[in-house]
C-alpha cells in the first residue's frame, strides 16, 4: 500500500474502532443489566443500572481522551519517559538523536520529541501523537544499551512508519476509548484496595458491589484486549516491511528482534499497568499476554519474514551466548565502524578542512519526474532518501546544525530564513521583528542570515527548519504566539511575497499550531473533488505562475496540464488571482480535508502543473515539497530516485 491507501485504511480503522467500542459497551451493559435484573427483579433498577454504566464508561473515556490532548509527549511522560535534550553529548543519546533526525529529514516530517524509558531494561519503543507535528518517539534504556546503530535505525524506522501512516492517531484514540470500558474493573479494584482496611458489616454490601464490578469489568478487559490485538497485529507486519523498504537492509531490524528473543529481558516492560495501556503501540510485545490476546505477531514469524531461512534454534544459541556476555550496542558500533557517524563533537566545517560535502543537485539543475512517481514517494521513504538525508545533514555547516538544536537560537534562525533579499523590504521586516520580539531577536536573525543563510542551498532550507522544530516547541506559548504574529507580519510586509517564503511561513505556522493543540487538528478528511473545484483551480494557477514567471503562455499550459489530471471534464479558465500567493490562505483547510484518494490526485496534478515538460527545477521541487507538507503529504528529500 502507498501512503494514501494507508491513510484510507486508517480512516476505515477509525470507524471500525468505534464499532468495536460500541459492541464492547453493549456487551458490558448487557451483563450489568442481567446481573441487576437477577438481583432485584426490577425493570426500573435495571434501567438505572444501564444509565449508570453508560455514564461511567462515557465519562471515563472522555476523561482519558482529555488527559491526552497534549499529544505524544504526554503519553511518553505518563510512561515515565525522560526527555532527550537536543544538544546532548551522551554517546547513546546522541546516537539516538542523530538516527531520528536523519530519518525525519528522509521522510519529510518534523523531528519528533525524544524520550527514554530509563527504568526499562527490555528492548522496546513506541511512537505516540495525533500527527507528525506533535509526535513523540520513546525508546527503552535496554534498546539504547543493547542495540547497535543499524538495529536502532531499524526500530526507529519501524516507529516512523506508524507516524507516517496515521497509525498514531488511531492508537492514541484507542487508549482513550479502552479506558472507558475498563472503568468498572478499575473502580472495583480501587474499592477493594481501600475497603480492606476498614471492613465492617456496613461496608460488606459495598465490597460485594465492588467484586461484582470487577467481575463485570472483566468483560471490558476481555473486549479491550481483543480490540487491541485485532487493531495492532497486522499493522506490525506492515511497519516491519516499511522499515525494511526504508533502510534497504533486513539485518538491523532482524537483529533487534533476535536480541529481544535472545535476552532475558526480551521486550517486556516492568511498568505492567503502563504496558497494558500502550501495548498496542509498542515495537515488541510489552506484556506476557499471548495467543488471541497478543498485540504482536509471534517473534519467530516476524524474523522469518525478514530472513526466510531463520531457524528458531538460533535463539537458543543466542540466549546461551548472551547469558554470559550480554551485547553492548556502542561497542558493536565501534567494531562495525558505525561509531564515527555519531561522534559527540561536531565535525569541522568543510570550509576549514577543505573537505567537500557530499554532492547536492546544482541550484539550477532540473529533475526528471512523473506525477505517479512523486505521488508514490509521499511518506514512503527509501534507502536512497536515507542516504540523501545523511548527505543533507553533512552538507549543513556544523555550527548551523548546532544552532538549529539550541532553544534560544531556533526562533532567530527561522526568522532569518524568511528575510527578503531586497534590502528595503528586509529593513521593514526588521521593524516587525523588533516590534514583537525585540531588538536582540532582530539582530540575531540578520546576523544568522549574513553568516549562514544567504548562501544556503535551496534543498537545505526545509531540513534546517525540521531540525529547528524540536527546540522551537520548547518555547513558552506566549512567545510562540508572538513568533507566529511576527511571521505573518514579515510575509505581508509589502504584499510582494515569493511563493516559497509564503509556503515556508505557512508551514511553520501550521506545525506550531498543531503542536500547541494537537487533538484539535486530528481529523480524517471527508471532502471530495467536486466540492473543492475552485480551490483546486487557485492552487494550480499559483503553482503554474510561480514555475513560469513572466511566461503567461507557458504558465497557462502548466495550469491546464494539472487541471486535466484532477478535473478532466471541467473547463475552469486560467485566472491567476490578483492577490497572488496570498489567495492560498483560503484553500489550505478545504484541500487538507480531502479524502486520501483525492489527495493523491491533487499531488499528481501539482506535479503536472510544476512540470508539464516532466522536469522541475530544484526551487520548484522545494516548493512542491512545502505545499505537500502543508497538505500533510510529506515528500522525501530526493525526487530524482536512482
Residue 446: what pLDDT? 96
Task: Choose, from 159, 276, 501, 535, the residue flagged as catalytic.
Answer: 159
Position 195 scores a pLDDT of 60
Q: Element (H or E) spanning 180, and its range?
A: helix 167-181
**pLDDT at 86 (0 to 100):** 86
Given a contact cutoff of 8 angstroms between Cβ atoms, the answer to whether 259 and 143 are in contact is no
> Higher-confidence residue: 339 or 10?
339
Host H or E run for residue 126: strand 125-128
How is the chain split into domains, by residue range? Answer: 1-327
- Alpha-carbon gap, residue 636 to 240, rounded angstroms: 19
Per-residue pLDDT for 518 more than 60? yes
In angstroms, the CA 326 to CA 335 distance is: 15
Choose from 74-78, 223-227, 294-298 the range with maximum mean pLDDT.
Answer: 74-78
How high is the pLDDT of residue 301? 92
Give one word for 166, left, alpha or beta, with left for phi > 0 and alpha for psi -120 to 50: left
Greater confidence (91 vs 570) lies with: 91
How many other C-beta atoms are found inside a 10 Å radius of the C-beta of residue 336? 11
Cβ neighbourhood burial of 37 (10 Å; 0-12, 13-18, 19+)? middle
Q: Is 439 a catalytic residue?
A: no
CA distance 374 to 309: 35
pLDDT at 349: 41
- pLDDT given at position 328: 94
Backbone angles phi, psi at 117, to 5 degrees: -90, 90
274: pLDDT strictly greater than 70 = yes
- pLDDT tens-place string over residues 344-354: 544 444 333 34
pLDDT digits (tens, 9 = 90+) for 281-294: 999 998 877 777 88
pLDDT digits (tens, 9 = 90+) for 400-453: 988 998 989 999 999 999 998 888 999 999 999 999 999 999 999 999 999 999
Calculate the alpha carbon distances from 100 to 114, 184, 563, 607 in Å: 9, 40, 38, 29
Check: CB of residue 374 under 8 Å from CB of residue 639: yes
The per-residue DSSP string of 324-356 comes to: HS---HHHHHHHHT-GGGG-SSPPPPHHHH-PP
Q: How far is CA 114 from the centre of its chain?
A: 12
The secondary element (H helix, E strand) that includes residue 114 is strand 113-117
Average pLDDT of the chain to the nearest whole number = 84
Rounded average pLDDT over 459-478? 87
pLDDT at position 1 is: 61
Q: What is the pTM of this model?
A: 0.84
Q: Among 28-42, 383-397, 548-562, which is the least confidently predicted range?
A: 383-397
For the chain, give percent helix, strand, coil, nearest 5.
70, 5, 25
Confidence of residue 357 (pLDDT cuts 50, 70, 90): very low
pLDDT at 339: 80
Q: Is the pLDDT of residue 609 over 90?
A: no
| pLDDT on residue 212 | 72
Percent of the chain whose predicted confidence (pLDDT) is above 90: 31
Q: pLDDT at position 358, please?
A: 47
- Are 624 and 378 in contact, with CB atoms under 8 Å apart? no
> Average pLDDT, stretch 517-530?
78
What nine digits make up the cell of 421?
533579499
Query: Of residues 343 and 609, which shows the higher confidence score?
Result: 609
Please give the pLDDT value at position 249: 72
Distance of CA 72 to the CA centre of its chain: 9
pLDDT the model gives residue 90: 93
Amino acid at each position: 500500500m502507498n501512503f494514501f491507501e494507508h491513510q484510507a485504511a486508517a480512516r476505515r480503522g477509525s470507524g471500525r474502532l468505534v464499532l468495536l467500542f460500541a459492541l464492547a459497551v453493549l456487551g458490558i451493559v448487557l451483563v450489568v443489566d442481567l446481573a441487576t435484573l437477577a438481583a432485584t427483579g426490577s425493570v426500573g433498577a435495571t434501567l438505572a443500572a444501564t444509565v449508570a454504566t453508560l455514564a461511567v464508561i462515557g465519562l471515563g473515556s472522555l476523561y482519558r481522551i482529555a488527559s491526552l490532548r497534549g499529544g505524544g509527549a504526554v503519553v511518553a511522560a505518563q510512561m515515565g519517559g525522560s526527555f532527550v535534550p537536543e544538544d546532548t553529548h551522551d554517546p547513546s543519546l546522541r546516537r539516538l538523536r542523530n538516527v531520528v533526525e536523519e530519518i525525519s529529514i528522509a521522510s519529510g516530517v518534523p523531528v519528533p520529541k525524544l524520550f527514554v524509558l530509563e527504568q526499562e531494561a527490555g528492548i522496546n519503543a513506541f511512537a505516540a501523537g495525533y500527527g507528525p507535528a506533535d509526535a513523540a518517539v520513546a525508546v527503552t534504556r535496554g534498546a539504547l544499551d543493547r542495540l547497535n546503530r543499524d538495529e536502532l535505525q531499524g526500530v526507529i524506522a519501524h516507529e516512523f512508519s506508524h507516524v507516517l501512516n496515521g497509525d498514531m492517531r488511531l492508537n492514541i484514540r484507542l487508549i482513550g476509548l479502552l479506558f472507558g470500558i475498563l472503568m468498572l474493573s478499575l473502580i472495583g479494584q480501587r474499592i477493594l484496595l481501600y475497603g480492606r482496611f476498614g471492613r465492617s458489616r456496613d461496608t460488606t454490601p459495598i465490597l460485594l458491589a465492588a467484586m461484582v464490578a470487577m467481575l463485570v469489568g472483566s468483560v471490558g478487559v476481555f473486549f479491550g484486549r481483543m480490540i487491541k490485538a485485532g487493531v495492532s497485529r497486522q499493522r506490525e507486519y506492515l511497519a516491519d516491511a516499511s522499515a525494511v523498504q526504508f533502510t534497504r537492509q533486513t539485518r538491523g531490524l532482524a537483529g533487534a528482534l533476535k536480541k529481544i528473543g535472545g535476552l532475558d529481558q526480551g521486550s517486556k516492560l516492568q511498568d505492567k499497568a503502563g504496558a497494558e495501556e500502550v501495548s498496542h503501540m509498542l515495537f515488541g510485545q510489552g506484556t506476557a499476554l499471548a495467543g488471541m490476546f497478543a498485540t504482536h505477531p509471534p517473534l519467530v514469524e516476524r524474523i522469518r519474514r525478514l530472513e526466510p531461512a531463520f531457524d528458531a534454534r538460533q535463539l537458543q544459541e543466542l540466549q546461551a551466548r548472551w547469558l554470559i556476555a550480554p551485547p553492548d550496542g556502542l561497542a558493536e558500533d565501534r567494531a562495525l565502524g558505525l561509531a564515527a557517524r555519531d561522534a559527540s563533537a561536531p565535525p569541522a566545517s568543510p570550509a576549514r578542512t577543505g573537505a567537500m560535502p557530499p554532492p547536492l543537485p546544482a541550484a539550477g539543475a532540473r529533475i526528471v519526474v512523473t506525477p505517479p512517481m512523486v505521488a508514490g514517494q509521499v511518506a514512503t521513504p527509501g534507502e536512497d532518501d536515507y542516504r540523501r538525508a545523511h548527505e543533507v545533514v553533512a552538507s549543513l555547516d556544523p555550527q548551523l546544525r548546532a544552532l538549529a538544536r539550541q532553544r534560544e537560537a531556533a526562533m532567530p534562525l527561522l526568522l532569518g530564513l524568511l528575510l527578503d533579499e531586497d534590502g528595503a523590504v528586509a529593513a521593514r521586516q526588521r521593524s516587525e521583528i523588533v516590534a514583537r520580539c525585540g531588538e536582540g531577536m532582530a539582530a540575531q536573525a540578520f546576523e544568522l542570515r549574513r553568516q549562514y543563510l544567504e548562501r544556503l542551498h535551496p534543498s537545505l532550507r526545509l531540513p534546517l527548519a525540521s531540525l529547528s522544530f524540536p527546540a522551537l516547541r520548547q518555547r513558552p506559548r506566549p512567545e510562540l504566539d508572538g513568533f507566529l504574529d511576527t511571521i505573518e507580519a514579515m510575509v505581508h510586509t509589502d504584499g510582494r511575497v515569493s511563493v516559497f517564503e509564503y509556503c515556508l511561513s505557512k508551514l511553520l505556522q501550521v506545525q506550531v499550531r498543531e503542536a500547541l493543540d494537537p487533538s484539535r487538528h486530528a481529523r480524517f478528511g471527508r471532502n471530495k473533488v467536486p466540492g473543492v473545484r475552485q480551490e483546486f483551480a487557485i492552487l494550480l494557477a499559483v503553482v503554474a505562475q510561480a514555475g513560469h514567471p513572466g511566461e503567461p503562455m507557458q504558465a497557462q499550459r502548466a495550469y491546464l496540464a494539472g487541471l486535466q489530471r484532477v478535473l478532466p471534464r471541467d473547463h475552469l479558465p486560467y485566472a491567476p488571482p490578483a492577490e497572488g500567493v496570498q489567495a492560498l490562505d483560503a484553500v489550505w483547510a478545504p484541500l487538507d480535508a480531502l479524502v486520501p484518494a483525492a489527495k493523491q490526485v491533487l499531488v499528481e496534478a501539482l506535479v503536472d502543473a510544476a512540470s508539464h515538460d516532466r522536469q522541475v527545477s530544484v526551487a520548484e521541487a522545494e516548493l512542491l515539497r512545502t505545499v505537500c507538507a502543508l497538505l500533510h503529504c510529506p515528500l522525501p528529500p530526493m525526487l530524482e530516485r536512482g
